[in-house]
Amino acid sequence: MIKKDNQGVTYAKGFKAAGVKAGIKKSGNLDVAVIYTETKAAIAGTFTQNKVAAAPVYVSKETVATKTAHAIVANAGCANACTGQQGMNDAYKTREIAAAALGIKADDVIVGSTGVIGVTLPMDKLEAGIKDAVANLSETGSIDAANAIITTDTHSKSMTVKFDIDGTEVHMGAIAKGSGMIRPNMATMLCYITTDLAISQELLQKALSACVEKSFNMISVDGDMSTNDTVVVLANGLAGNAKITEENAAYELFCTNLMALCTELAKEIAA
């Protein structure tokens, strides 16, 4: 059963999160989020279908191609889209800053941005924000992370679900942002999902791609497509279930719960 729950991305074992104020949003609200698992996780992602994709999308696709990751860093207030080579440099620099603060490799970091298009990231503010967020990572930090990624949303979106696989309890949670500009595919949307399920990267990607196609890509609010849309899932395996490596009953159960989670989040975004 899907619960609207502030535990969000820290509901699963081994995940911490934080959201801080870095001064990127004009409102002065929370605007930098970090999600982290010390145990390296399998990673899957789906991204905008817009021909014009933002720099963080290109950089995050590279991380997904490595099949594992430790962290997600996202900012709101500046989309780092239509920013040319400087935007790419800034997206790579964002990874490097987070990696140094966390003591991991740069290609173990997913980056995401949302907000004003055509403006370069204020890197001094973002760097300070990332370091602040890393210093404040906690198992109760998901709600701040959820609030740090919203822009025009009226409220943050955070949900959890737990299910049993062969006697092992598995936890999954998510935070998301998005409202307006959502037609026909995933527009102006960030969604970050974490789970302690043990599953192969290939099946994690297959499950996510199928679920996104039937949930987020179905919602429609107006006529634009965003440059920054991202749905990412990290699975760190700490639940201790027998690792899912084939499309068996355990895989189908995971897909059912992932689909339910994505569908409820999509409804929240479209509401």
b (16+ CB within 10 A) / e for 83-93: beeebbebbbb
> Would you call the peptide bond into 122 cis, given omega within 30 degrees of 0 as the criterion?
no
Selecting among 46, 94, 151, 188, the annotated active-site residue is 188
Nearest one of 205, 188, 176 to 263, comparing CA atoms: 176
Residues of the chain with pLDDT under 70: 179-188, 218-225
Cβ–Cβ < 8 Å for 109, 69 = yes
pLDDT score for 182: 42
Concatenate the DSSP letters of all residues of 4-35 into one string.
Answer: E-TTGGGSSTTEEEEEE--S-STT----EEEE
Residues contacting 216, CB < 8 A, separation 6+: 185, 186, 189, 191, 231, 262, 265, 266, 269
pLDDT score for 51: 79
What is this structure's pTM? 0.95
Q: Domain 3-270 classified CATH 3.40.50.150?
A: no
pLDDT score for 225: 60
pLDDT score for 187: 44
Nearest one of 157, 163, 129 to 258, comparing CA atoms: 163
Q: Assess whether 188 carries a catalytic annotation.
A: yes
Cβ–Cβ < 8 Å for 176, 191 = yes
Nearest one of 43, 68, 8 to 204, comparing CA atoms: 43
pLDDT score for 184: 43
pLDDT tens-digit map of 79-96: 999 999 999 999 999 999
| Dihedral, CA of residue 260, residue 8, residue 144 and residue 270, to nearest 10 | 10
